[in-house]
A and B are shown apart, each in its own frame.
Chain A
Amino acid sequence: MRICVTSTGKEKDALTDRRFGRCVYFAIYDTETEEFTFVKNDGVNTAHGAGLAAAQKVIDEKADVVITGNLGPNAMKVLSASDIKVYQIMDGNIKDQIKYFKEGKLDTIDKPGPSHAGMGNRNRRGW
């Protein structure tokens, strides 16, 4: 199983990124090899559809699970169409999230958050 965590850096003790579409890196953990790979998210720099670009990347990386803070309606639609389960990030770094996941502590995200939430203005509630 491949677990994808949205990350701010490319180390396994890096901080998590609560944004999905505009996170900096995807940390992908393979449960068989027990190793991390880090993939840059090109969605950060796109003007529109960052969530979709990020979701495509996650699908291409053959992830089965995504752990993130919050993701928009479009990304949610794409991930569920590819049967990828989404879980809510808890406190701690990337490594911790994998541990929490294995312990079954993480909550699933079933409802998308507001769109455009990762675009800088935290007070904005979509548009």
Chain B
Amino acid sequence: MINLVLHMPVWEIETEGAGRMQVAVLSGKGGTGKTTVSTNLAKIMGCRYVDCDVEEPNGFIFLKPKIEETREVYILVPSIDKEKCSDCKKCVDICQFNALVHTKQGVMLFEKLCHGCGACTLICQTKAIIEARRRIGKIDIGKHGDIECLSGTLNIGEPMAGPVISQLKNLIDDKTTIVDCSPGSSCNVVKAVQGADYAILVTEPTAFGLHDLKIAVELVKKINIPFSIIINRVTGDENLITRYCYEKNIPILGLIPYDKKIAIFYSEGKLLVEDETYKNIFKSIARTLMEAVQCS
């Protein structure tokens, strides 16, 4: 098991020379510590933090950045001019998301189903459709000391997180960035992970943790991103995750112990690196990460 952990000599963390990178933190199972890992790594490495878990962003609770700017996120939805509409129904047929329905009272739009693709506007022969903006969320941009922090929030009741994540990712330049993804392996995770240079999979040594980890591993393999695993809530030397990693030859980036102190820090909205023990743990994870990124 010890051999599995990438061992690195101790030196001060140099993010500058390591080349610029985008590291995605994902998990499969929820509540394994993605945000804990992301925020603490961003703090210790002094790099940008981006919360792409737009359905439930929580990174800012720990980093508490000073918000400097808030941008609105819109998608374009059709707006139908009933005077011009010829009732040809072409827009209804072209819509892949069943957002338009043709009734006796003309074409009805169900805007929550609309993905804003614009096909209906293109196909309309009488130009009865114009595109209107619909606000679906926002992006907060702030600073925690020197650390740039971005966080997307999807409005409550909105089903589509994609556009918020895309706009967030568009704001990332080539500076070193930690991307905090949503749990699971849905489109939202894929969107957040895409374009990353490296992925950290955070999991816990439980049957559920392993089950969902396997799905997350499949996902990053499919997108072809090098990755390693952080095991959270570790109690002993060996567990079902270490056995899985050994079997599949997956490197373990670090271990976070199962400790009441973490729960106390978390409940108070504090970063773990405020504690000396955890500062060292995250420093060593950061070091190993730099090395792993350079090697992959």
Residues of chain A having any CB pair with chain B under 8 Å: 43, 46, 48-50, 52-53, 55-56, 59, 74, 77-78, 81-83
Contacts and interface: CB of A to CB of B under 8 A. Distances in A.
The DSSP consensus for interface residues of chain B is: loop
B234 interface: no
Contacts of A43: 98
Interface stretch (B105-113, B124-132, B209-217): B105-113
Contacts of B101: 52, 55-56, 59, 78
Nearest to B99: A49
Contact of A59 (B97, B98, B103, B110): B103
Given A48-B97, A53-B98, 18 more contacts: A43-B98, A48-B113, A49-B98, A49-B99, A49-B113, A50-B98, A56-B98, A59-B103, A74-B110, A77-B108, A78-B101, A78-B103, A78-B108, A81-B103, A81-B104, A82-B103, A82-B105, A83-B104
A55 to B, nearest CB: 6
Contacts of A49: 97-99, 110, 113
A82 B113 contact: no
Contacts of A59: 101-104
Interface string B199-213: 000000000000000
Interface in B138-177: 159
Measured as residues with beta carbon below 8 angstroms from the partner, the interface class of chain B is 10 to 19
Contacts of B104: 59, 81-83
- Which 8 interchain pairs have the tightest Cβ spacing? A49-B98, A81-B103, A82-B103, A52-B98, A82-B104, A53-B98, A49-B113, A78-B101
Nearest to B92: A56
